[in-house]
Structure formats: structure tokens, C-alpha cells
């Protein structure tokens, strides 16, 4: 090959490598981002996900599309996200359910800690102990006395065996000396309908799901499952006040496939934390009875590491298994 041709060939090869390198290092995001919500549309997790998606667009300069992948207690969505390309274009809205599932299921198709990298916690979400308004109690002390009395039948509904609603009731029985009967439903919606209709007496429900019925007077709020009272209902006692150490705190947060570059994780974290500090976001979460929980990826990782053994203990108390 002539010297001139060698030079031309070398330039062509060099240009190709440079083009490939530029493509590999294209600014993120280079296309729409998918936010995987592991539950059906319309629930509280979906509402939070759609709020984040709308606000993230302004922060990262790309459309964020919510994709609902419900099923298997949130595991189908988690597995899908864990196996997605680690390029920052698939993000995942996990909940405390996923920390629970580590102990609730004997086998999972993904490893929650190994396969997903924390980006930022989003919110703390209290459950509320509510009773049908016809139950003759008005506060936590009265309900404890009522539920301890063997003459009274108290049935509490849940979204199914192993759900946070079930676990909250099992822990209440264990710590409070009550004998409430657990009635599992296929989702919280049917349980709330039966609670309103008087077929069951009580329920430990995400606050957002029962707030309208509390305001209408059809349900009575008896207690909050987080260690402190909810700012949404400051007059309702935290169950921890009567049963020291009681806590069933729900949460959600954003994770990504584990090999996602740290610089993308950090950019996402900055964007999410900025959103969580916006007054409109604080107000929207407050309407759900939730509180924003901004923080770093490292803080969220440390939080999850503590949550998994915490929920394992609660699952053992409930005796629940999902498979």
C-alpha cells in the first residue's frame, strides 16, 4: 500500500474510533427516560411516579414516560428494571414493599441490593389505623380497650398476606395484646369498601387511600403507624405513643440498574432533590399524607440496608409467606 493510502486509511480508522467514543459518551439523557412503576395505575405509588415524571422533564431536558408493570407484589416491575440497560434511561420507583419481599419470598428473579443502585429516597408514607365510624371508639386508648375485650369481634382487612397492611395489624396484635382477626383481600380497594360497609371493623391503610373517608366522617382515624404523628392529622396519636417501639413506616424512592454510571446517578439525585424541595411538591405529598425525604445515594443505600432486616423481623411476626 502506498504511503499516502496508509495515511488516508489511518485517518478513516481514527475518525471511526472518535465517532464511537463520542457516541459512547453522549450527554445523558440522549432520549426519553422510562420510569417503571411496579403497581397498577391510579394507586398512590403511581400518583407519586407521575408527579416525578412531569417535574423531571424540566430538570433533565427529556420526556419521562411512566410505564406501569404491576404484578407479583411489585416484583415484576423490579425485575424488569433490574435487567434494563444501565444507561440512565430506565429508572425505577421502588417502595418499602421491595424491602419486605426480600424476606416474604423464598426466591426472587432479581437481587434487590445487588441488581439495583439507590439514587434518592422520595417520601415517607404513614399507614393510618382507621375504623368504621359505627365502632364505638374515638381514640387509640379506647380502641385498645375495645380490641382487648374478648366480647368484641374485631376484624381488620389488608391488601393480602404479607402486605404492609397485614404486617401493621400483626405487630399491633403482638405488642398490644389484642386479638384482631386478619381478613386478607386482593388489594386495598376491596378491603376499604368492606370497611365502609361494616363487613370488617378496622384497617391499617396508607393514609392517602382513606383521607377522603376520614374527612367525610365515614371512617374514624385512630392511630398513625410512624413513630411521630402525621402533619396531615396532628391530632391523631402515633401508635408508638401507646405501644413504645411500634413502627411500620412506608417509603418510596428511585433506583436504577446497578451498573449505571455514577455521574448519571448523581445528576438524577440532584434533579430529584431539587424537585422534593419545591413547595408544590411538598404540598402534593402532604395531600397524600406523605413527607418528602431528600438525601444522597449513599444515605438511601444505608437506609435500605437497615430496612431489609427491619422488615424481615416484621414478616416473621406476621408469619406471612408469599410462595
Start-end of CATH 3.40.190.10 domains in the chain: 126-242
The predicted-structure confidence for 113-171, as pLDDT tens digits, reads as follows 999 999 999 999 888 999 999 999 999 999 999 999 999 999 999 988 888 999 999 99
Give the pLDDT confidence score for residue 12 in this predicted structure.
Answer: 53
Per CATH, the number for 33-125+250-318 is 3.40.190.150
Angstrom distance (rounded) from CA 142 to CA 176: 12
The correct answer on CATH 3.20.20.150 for the domain covering 126-242 is no
pLDDT block averages, 10 residues each, the chain of length 323: 51 50 69 95 88 96 96 94 98 97 95 98 94 97 97 94 92 96 90 97 92 96 94 94 95 97 98 97 89 96 97 93 82
Q: In angstroms, how far is the first alpha carbon of the chain from the final one? A: 68
Start-end of CATH 3.40.190.150 domains in the chain: 33-125+250-318
Give the pLDDT confidence score for residue 16 in this predicted structure.
Answer: 53
Give the pLDDT confidence score for residue 28 in this predicted structure.
Answer: 96
Amino acid at each position: 500500500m502506498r504511503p499516502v493510502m496508509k495515511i488516508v486509511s489511518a485517518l478513516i480508522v481514527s475518525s471511526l474510533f472518535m465517532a464511537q467514543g463520542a457516541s459512547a459518551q453522549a450527554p445523558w439523557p440522549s432520549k426519553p427516560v422510562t420510569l417503571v412503576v411496579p403497581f397498577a395505575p391510579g394507586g398512590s405509588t403511581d400518583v407519586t411516579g407521575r408527579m416525578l415524571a412531569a417535574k423531571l422533564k424540566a430538570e433533565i431536558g427529556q420526556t419521562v414516560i411512566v410505564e406501569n408493570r404491576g404484578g407479583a407484589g411489585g416484583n415484576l416491575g423490579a425485575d424488569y428494571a433490574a435487567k434494563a440497560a444501565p444507561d440512565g434511561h430506565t429508572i425505577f420507583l421502588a417502595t418499602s414493599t421491595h424491602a419486605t419481599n426480600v424476606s416474604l419470598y423464598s426466591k426472587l428473579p432479581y437481587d434487590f441490593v445487588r441488581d439495583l443502585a439507590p439514587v434518592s429516597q422520595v417520601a415517607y408514607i404513614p399507614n393510618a389505623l382507621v375504623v368504621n365510624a359505627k365502632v364505638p371508639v374515638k381514640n387509640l386508648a379506647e380502641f385498645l380497650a375495645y380490641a382487648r375485650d374478648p366480647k368484641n369481634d374485631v376484624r381488620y382487612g389488608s391488601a393480602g398476606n404479607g402486605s404492609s397492611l397485614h404486617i401493621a395489624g400483626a405487630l399491633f396484635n403482638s405488642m398490644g395484646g389484642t386479638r384482631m382477626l386478619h381478613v386478607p383481600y386482593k388489594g386495598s380497594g376491596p378491603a376499604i369498601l368492606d370497611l365502609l360497609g361494616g363487613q370488617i371493623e378496622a384497617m391499617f391503610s396508607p393514609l392517602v387511600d382513606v383521607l377522603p373517608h376520614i374527612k367525610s366522617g365515614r371512617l374514624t382515624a385512630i392511630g398513625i403507624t410512624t413513630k411521630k404523628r402525621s402533619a396531615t392529622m396532628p391530632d391523631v396519636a402515633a401508635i408508638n405513643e401507646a405501644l413504645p417501639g411500634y413502627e411500620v413506616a412506608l417509603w418510596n424512592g428511585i433506583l436504577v440498574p446497578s451498573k449505571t454510571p455514577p455521574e448519571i446517578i448523581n445528576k438524577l439525585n440532584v434533579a430529584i432533590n431539587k424537585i422534593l424541595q419545591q413547595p408544590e411538591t411538598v404540598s402534593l405529598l402532604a395531600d397524600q399524607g406523605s413527607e418528602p425525604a431528600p438525601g444522597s445515594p449513599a444515605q438511601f443505600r444505608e437506609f435500605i440496608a437497615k430496612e431489609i432486616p427491619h422488615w424481615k423481623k416484621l414478616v416473621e411476626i406476621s408469619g406471612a409467606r408469599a410462595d
